[in-house]
Structure 1
């Protein structure tokens, strides 16, 4: 990410370069009794699962944070892990709690998420990202490693899942699901950003081709199954949904992902509406916040700051025919 002065919004496009996401996050894990987990990074600080100890800070505007809100809902962890919600826009310094009275998170008492990061790492050198989990008693950030946050909400907090919570990580599908998740992340979740933040025509063209190759693959894969992994909802669906939900409102125009709209891909559009209408999904989507985030924060792509009025959100409530 290119530098900006402290009070400016950041710049995202580096002329002549392809977009390369920084995937270095605070790798700590929250596990049952602080145990060593079977999957993922283990040479990290381990924190114990404990209801009421942690606050998930997640902006509805952000797709990576949105997935954590959905998983928390699906598993019934609302009374176990509290939720703090920053507003949709931010500057280079941090996400801010401008939706809360007085502009402060009511539990953590902070104006900027940056304060929780600096409380633990005074010289934290990277971006202040959401989702982040913060320890309520100390106000210190625990982790912002978004892929493992939702993974661990399922595997490590099982004792506190609601009755009938979905099996988001079926053991017999683990290997195939890891492969599907990898392709969805690299080609779709991050693929739209590679288009939007491309710094050259060549980088954009390559990113565009990769994105739509993957979307065509998904259109074909979902033609004979309701969900990505078969007949049951998994986290693979959560991960894809947050990109699809933003596609026509943001990525099609703002990020130049304009071969076609989501509404013009009949299988993916039906699938996306199916998920949107599933409890735990649609109520986490706020199109006004989503559009405000992208069109206001990305001043190097949209210098006017004008936020488009459409598309109409009511189309997401049309029958999907995938039951």
Structure 2
């Protein structure tokens, strides 16, 4: 590997490589039983990986079971900061920086402090920052605390298909936009750009005659795709050079994203201010001026999407979150 960049690394070919998750313990193990009030989910509202956990927590009704800490959208040299809270400290954990929880767990840790992180409140230690597993565990290992009418986001009969779709979406779309934005060679950028739009075209074809990615209800797969799509025009299209088309110029995906945006638990967890301030105000190498653009106009997200005509039941036999 070559020199570290943006908290991860670039290969000798200029390809961006995401940092591996350091903490991968699971709730439901003997050391970490599922208990209401014991754990705190720390997120940035700007981060798509953290946004997944916010959506799933809300859809399943875990707000009163797992508390939520939100960091400042601007990450400085010390990492994520709790400057949105009184005294610049998280009111539950009592820390000013997420790094304090990481170093309390592993004093030798020298990587990037990432969100989402699920932290054990009594000890102040990080249980997991394994973002793909956090949301799956919310569905499977916190069932006893789900609200009445919570949807099944990871139904057993569809898990193999959901996992396959998630793998493709992660490689080419979720992580693909970063591989475009942080590439340090033309060859690496071109490769990531081609894979991204080939996958978006394939997803559009898949969604042309079905409302959701897998089955006829919202699943984990829709959550994972949505958090990238909702950031696409605001930051990825320009900031990460993913500019073959805007999302608003891709009719099927634009309608699909608006359908989810209008669904309780999705649009009401989006913060475009945090999203734009983080990306444009943190990536100095990509945006030396740190100017945050005014657009795009968010009112387009509220336009009718017409996807109801495809059928489907957003929450299956369940109900929307409160």
**TM-score, with normalisation over the residues of structure 1?**
0.92
Aligned residues of 1:12 and 1:298 also touching (Cα < 8 A): no
Residue equivalent to 1:30: 27
Which of 37, 60, 75 is matched with 2:45 structurally? 60
How far has the Cα of 1:11 moved from its partner? 8.7
Q: How far apart, in 2, do the equivalents of 1:289 and 1:15 lie? A: 33
Q: How far apart, in 2, do the equivalents of 1:121 and 1:230 lie? A: 41
Quickly say closer, same or farther: Cα 1:218–1:234, change in 2 above 3 A. Answer: same
Residue equivalent to 2:236: 251
Residue equivalent to 1:21: 18
Residue equivalent to 1:39: none
Say how many residue pairs are matched: 307
Matched, 1:185 2:170: yes
Which of 57, 74, 89 is matched with 1:104 structurally? 89
Matched, 1:165 2:150: yes
What root-mean-square deviation, in Å, do the aligned CA atoms of Structure 1 and Structure 2 show? 1.7
Aligned residues of 2:154 and 2:219 also touching (Cα < 8 A): yes
Alignment of 1:1-323 (within 5 A): 2=3, 17-31=14-28, 34=29, 46-323=31-308
Q: How far apart, in 2, do the equivalents of 1:54 and 1:210 lie? A: 38
Q: How far apart, in 1, do the equivalents of 2:188 and 2:4 lie? A: 21
Q: How far apart, in 2, do the equivalents of 1:281 and 1:311 lie? A: 19
Quickly say closer, same or farther: Cα 1:277–1:2, change in 2 above 3 A. Answer: farther
How far has the Cα of 1:230 moved from its partner? 2.5
Residue equivalent to 2:311: none
Q: How far apart, in 2, do the equivalents of 1:158 and 1:190 lie? A: 29
Q: How far apart, in 2, do the equivalents of 1:158 and 1:14 lie? A: 41
Q: How far apart, in 2, do the equivalents of 1:112 and 1:66 lie? A: 19
Runs (5+) with no aligned partner, structure 1? 36-45
Q: How far apart, in 1, do the equivalents of 2:140 and 2:253 lie? A: 28
Quickly say closer, same or farther: Cα 1:309–1:132, change in 2 above 3 A. Answer: same
Q: How far apart, in 1, do the equivalents of 2:104 and 2:21 lie? A: 19
How far has the Cα of 1:16 moved from its partner? 5.2
- CA offsets 1:115-146 (integer angstroms, 9 cap, x no match): 11111111112210000011111211111011
Q: How far apart, in 2, do the equivalents of 1:301 and 1:12 lie? A: 16
Q: How far apart, in 2, do the equivalents of 1:85 and 1:2 lie? A: 30
Q: How far apart, in 2, do the equivalents of 1:26 and 1:12 lie? A: 19
Residue equivalent to 2:319: none
Moved over 4 A (4+): 1-4, 9-16
What SS does the aligned partner of 1:49 have? Answer: coil
How far has the Cα of 1:13 moved from its partner? 6.8
Runs (5+) with no aligned partner, structure 2? 309-322
Quickly say closer, same or farther: Cα 1:319–1:157, change in 2 above 3 A. Answer: same
- CA offsets 1:140-184 (integer angstroms, 9 cap, x no match): 111101111111011000011011111101111111111000000
Quickly say closer, same or farther: Cα 1:300–1:16, change in 2 above 3 A. Answer: farther
Q: How far apart, in 2, do the equivalents of 1:182 and 1:143 lie? A: 20
What SS does the aligned partner of 1:299 have? Answer: coil
Aligned residues of 1:55 and 1:136 also touching (Cα < 8 A): yes
